[in-house]
Structure 1
Amino acid sequence: MDTHELRGLLTDGPFVSVHFDESHDTEDAAKQLRLRLKEIEAALEEQGADRPSVEAVLRAVEESPPPVGRAGRTVVAAHGSVVLDRRLAAPPPAQEARFSELPYFLPTVSHLEEAPAHLVVLVDRTGADIEVHRPDGSVETETVRGQEHPVHKVRGGGPAHRDIQSHAEQTAHNNLSEVAGHIAKTAERVRPRAIVLAGEVQARTELHERLPEPARSLTAEVDAGSRASGAGRAELDRAVHELLTGQRLRELDDLADRFRADAARESALAVSGLPAVTAALAEANVATLLVGESGEASVYTGSEPAQVGVAPSRLDALGVDDPARRRADEALPYAAVAVGADVVVMDERLDLADGFGALLRHP
């Protein structure tokens, strides 16, 4: 994921980092949430977390409206203030509550990759409903209403009929041009991973052609959905989910292929293992950090986020007098944010040494 939106984490620690199930889909959901928060509070207190940061996390959760259905939540706080608060569209695989000098945010990265921001556009010849779907599961809708009359062709062969037909076609073209402009502006604001066009076949095909770049390159069509009153939603939601899942799998395939190809070059542009990856991060030479299973591996860090190495001697070369030992799954993603690198949580496609790899900016 693009880590630009995580740069608010680049502040002094220590940090309280929690990731948990915030689902509100049962009658006792409120009670279950209270129990989870008590577990989180107890775990943080056992780790020696500062009370102001613990209270900031609890307050952020307790004072927010409950989600609809299944959901997860990520909250990170430092010195009594929340620095990251994200509602996730699905619960994380496991509940996490950490108190450490560096923030732990990999569950957030995993979720944002699986449930990216995207647009769903239901279109016909009179306009469109543009839905902005965010990673937290929220949806905002903008309706673009074009000119409604005339937009339908009429039967007949006389000059009058041909004039009406021509006028109807031009009205529909104008409407779709207006919709394309709205989509382009929305995409520029939201930066979606994908734009999905649904609805009338002819309308969505023309709309696709009228979209300017870069919006057009993000766009795909699905054979589902309608703007008609009372139209069902299940088929469209299923089609969008399949499209996004397929896109995600292709991206992981492409990333794995690129990593293998770059690692095989004489001037390697891909490395794996903690020694090579930490060295690249310290030199701000990482374009994309790849994270696999790292267990409880640790590295050494300095006062600056990008000061990372596998041994104290590596930090001496960076001018660090008193390096500290930190968890690798906190220190390396944190350094990646500091140097502006993307972070991607990989699956079994790549067997990364020590659980980490990197695509480099230059040899």
Structure 2
Amino acid sequence: MDTTRLRELVTGDGPFASVYFDDTHNTEDAAKQRELTWRDLRARLAEQDASEVTLDALEAAVLGGEPPVGRSGRALVATADGEWLDRHLSEPPARSEARLSRLPYLVPLVEYGELPPPHVVAVADRIGADITAVDEHGTVVDALTVEGTDSHVHKVRRGGWGHRDLQQHTEELVKQNIERAAERVAASARSTGASLVVVAGESQARKALLDALPEPVRGHAVEVQPGGRKPGSGEDELDRSIDELLADAVRARRDDVVERFTAELGKPTGLAVQGLEAVTTALREHNVATLLLGGLGSGGNGDTGDNGDAGGEVAEVLTGPEPALLALRENELTAQGIDAGDTRRARADEALLVAAVAVGADVISVGERVDLTDGFGALLRHD
């Protein structure tokens, strides 16, 4: 997960109320179910002494606004100063979370809210294409229609001496329209750094568009059958196809991180470490490129749970005045010139993610793909 947009969050003042829940909206009573879910979450936060201001800010966010379409999860983080984070998750969390703590709790956001890679979708026909580009933050940055002319861009049905000339003219117009669309698709792909280009629409048009794309962009392009430019032309099927492709891309990205981590860990001086001691040291030195989370689970309302330690208790670390100042022992922080009175204890499943955001590291949940010591690993920037 790209943590760029979380920087402001981790520099704010707590306590933070972190809420995660199933926000699926696919039944007639979905709105009522959301209200009941929120009542439970609010009660759990109130038991942890969350302020009324914080609770009201969360309530306005949860119950207000447009509901999602279909299966969805929701992530919210707020303080008494207002709402800091409100994001729909690609899938509902395994269970709802309501935690009030000094630091924001981000593990479920990483587990269920990893954004797909930047991508471009082009739905083509003989006239042109509808193009949508999405950046690495999940934001639509380009949504436009590129069209040429529809003059004579139809199958010629009459014979006679002019038939061949008309047919050639039609084919040339179609070619120009497709080339114009391909140029725009390529420009959008380059500007967003898209690693996936989805091409849909009329069979001949999408094949022609694929052929017209420049090689670097064509290498990331995938042709799908559903969807067309006319209303009712399989939009739902197209959306499902795109969702599947994006989910595959997210899985592939996680698998790639695991492969690189395993390879580096196997080298005598590889750029990978695991375990709380090694990872906190790397974070303190701003030497983490990607923080890996194993099967940490969650601790619900701040209760103890499986957080990667052998005893089943919540793993803790020491923190200093700055988010990245982490250690397992006090002398490691005092050696940095930090007064012992300025150190505090914090949950590892909160402090390490906050530190990773602060140093500009990516964070990725690898689940059970690799057995990480203490539930944490890191790919390093340098040895």
Q: TM-score, normalised by structure 2?
A: 0.83
Instruction: Quote how far apart the aligned CAs of 1:214 are.
Output: 6.8
Query: 3-state SS of the aligned residue for 1:304?
Result: coil
Work out whether residues 50 and 100 of structure 2, in 8 Å CA contact, stay in contact via their aligned partners in 1. Answer: yes
Instruction: Quote how far apart the aligned CAs of 1:235 are.
Output: 4.1
Distance in structure 2 (CA, Å) of the matches to 1:100 and 1:183? 45
* Alignment-derived partner of residue 318 in structure 1: 336
Alignment of 1:96-111 (within 5 A): 96-111=97-112
* Alignment-derived partner of residue 271 in structure 1: 273
Alignment of 1:44 onto 2:34: no
Distance in structure 2 (CA, Å) of the matches to 1:12 and 1:200? 50
Distance 1:288 1:222, change over 3 A: same
Work out whether residues 272 and 357 of structure 1, in 8 Å CA contact, stay in contact via their aligned partners in 2. Answer: yes
Distance in structure 1 (CA, Å) of the matches to 2:327 and 2:263? 26
Instruction: Quote how far apart the aligned CAs of 1:12 are.
Output: 2.6
Q: Find 2:324's aligned residue among 306, 316, 326.
A: 306
Distance in structure 2 (CA, Å) of the matches to 1:27 and 1:297? 42
Work out whether residues 258 and 370 of structure 2, in 8 Å CA contact, stay in contact via their aligned partners in 1. Answer: yes
Alignment of 1:194-233 (within 5 A): 194-211=196-213, 216-233=218-235
* Alignment-derived partner of residue 169 in structure 1: 171
Alignment of 1:151 onto 2:146: no
Query: 3-state SS of the aligned residue for 1:26?
Result: coil
Instruction: Quote how far apart the aligned CAs of 1:358 are.
Output: 0.8
Q: Find 2:182's aligned residue among 170, 180, 183.
A: 180
* Alignment-derived partner of residue 34 in structure 1: 35
Moved more, 326-335 or 141-150: 141-150
What are the Cα deviations for residues 170-213 of structure 1, in whole angstroms up to 9, with x where unaligned?
Answer: 32233223323443555567665633111234432342344468
Distance in structure 2 (CA, Å) of the matches to 1:214 and 1:335? 36
* Alignment-derived partner of residue 6 in structure 1: 6
Query: 3-state SS of the aligned residue for 2:114?
Result: helix
Query: 3-state SS of the aligned residue for 2:174?
Result: helix
Work out whether residues 152 and 169 of structure 1, in 8 Å CA contact, stay in contact via their aligned partners in 2. Answer: no
Distance 1:212 1:332, change over 3 A: farther
* Alignment-derived partner of residue 126 in structure 1: 127
Matched residue type, 2:226: A
Distance in structure 2 (CA, Å) of the matches to 1:58 and 1:100? 18
Query: 3-state SS of the aligned residue for 1:173?
Result: helix
Matched residue type, 1:11: T
Q: Find 2:244's aligned residue among 231, 235, 242.
A: 242
Work out whether residues 8 and 84 of structure 1, in 8 Å CA contact, stay in contact via their aligned partners in 2. Answer: no
Query: 3-state SS of the aligned residue for 1:113?
Result: coil
Matched residue type, 2:123: L
Distance 1:217 1:104, change over 3 A: farther
Instruction: Quote how far apart the aligned CAs of 1:270 are.
Output: 0.9
What CA RMSD, in Å, does the superposition of the two structures yield over aligned residues? 3.1
Distance in structure 1 (CA, Å) of the matches to 2:71 and 2:140? 12
* Alignment-derived partner of residue 337 in structure 1: 357
Moved more, 197-206 or 102-111: 197-206
* Alignment-derived partner of residue 19 in structure 2: 18
What are the Cα deviations for residues 2-30 of structure 1, in whole angstroms up to 9, with x where unaligned?
Answer: 11122231323211111112233333322
Work out whether residues 89 and 115 of structure 1, in 8 Å CA contact, stay in contact via their aligned partners in 2. Answer: no
Distance in structure 1 (CA, Å) of the matches to 2:61 and 2:125? 42
Query: 3-state SS of the aligned residue for 2:367?
Result: coil
Instruction: Quote how far apart the aligned CAs of 1:262 are.
Output: 1.1
Instruction: Quote how far apart the aligned CAs of 1:31 are.
Output: 2.4
Alignment length (residue pairs): 363
Work out whether residues 55 and 80 of structure 1, in 8 Å CA contact, stay in contact via their aligned partners in 2. Answer: no
Distance in structure 2 (CA, Å) of the matches to 1:58 and 1:229? 37
Distance in structure 2 (CA, Å) of the matches to 1:11 and 1:44? 22
Matched residue type, 2:333: L
Matched residue type, 2:84: V
Distance in structure 2 (CA, Å) of the matches to 1:89 and 1:20? 12
Query: 3-state SS of the aligned residue for 2:24?
Result: coil
Distance in structure 1 (CA, Å) of the matches to 2:46 and 2:36? 15
Alignment of 1:253 onto 2:255: yes
Q: Find 1:291's aligned residue among 270, 290, 293.
A: 293
Distance 1:260 1:156, change over 3 A: farther
Structure 2: gaps spanning 5 or more residues: 297-306, 308-313
* Alignment-derived partner of residue 57 in structure 1: 58
Work out whether residues 134 and 192 of structure 2, in 8 Å CA contact, stay in contact via their aligned partners in 1. Answer: no
Distance 1:200 1:291, change over 3 A: same
Moved more, 102-111 or 229-238: 229-238
* Alignment-derived partner of residue 357 in structure 1: 377
* Alignment-derived partner of residue 347 in structure 2: 327
